[in-house]
Structure 1
Amino acid sequence: MYNKNCKIQIYKGIIQFLLDSTTYSLKDIADIAETSIKNIRLIYLDEILPSSFTSELKLIKIYQIILEFNLKLNRKRNF
């Protein structure tokens, strides 16, 4: 149970980061992660990890790409 709850909080945080740092909607995030909007809403709004959620790595990869992009953008602004 602890592991599942941790995953939910991590994925919810990733989704929140994507919403805050991009113009993506929950639907956009679902499309890019190749999962259903229902799965994204279950995680983000209901804090439930769907048993059929197989897009974990894709969600993490999207987070990594946006994070790296933001870091590069901030570096350019500082020069």
Structure 2
Amino acid sequence: MYMWEADGAREEPPPAGTLITLGTLMAARSCYREAEACKEQGQEEEEEEEEEEEKEEEEEEEEQENEEEEVEEEEKKKEE
């Protein structure tokens, strides 16, 4: 990605002879860095959410197994 694309306003370089000031370049670079940081943060949040969902599913499975074991134990006690 070129510096002039960082703000998302242009897909092509500015026309020849266009004066690009240092301030414009610095602002574009700042916007680009901020966008990258937001993208990374979003990916991290998605990964954390997926991990939490997996943990919840594992806990639910363990609870179901425990309930099934309790039911089996109760049936054995009733048979005795």
Short-chain TM bin: 0.3 to 0.5
Q: Is the radius of gyration larger for structure 1 or structure 2?
A: 2
Please report the TM-score for the alignment, with normalisation by the length of structure 1. 0.44
Q: TM-score, normalised by structure 2?
A: 0.43
Work out which structure has the larger RCO, using CA pairs closer than 8 Å and 6 or more positions apart in sequence: 1
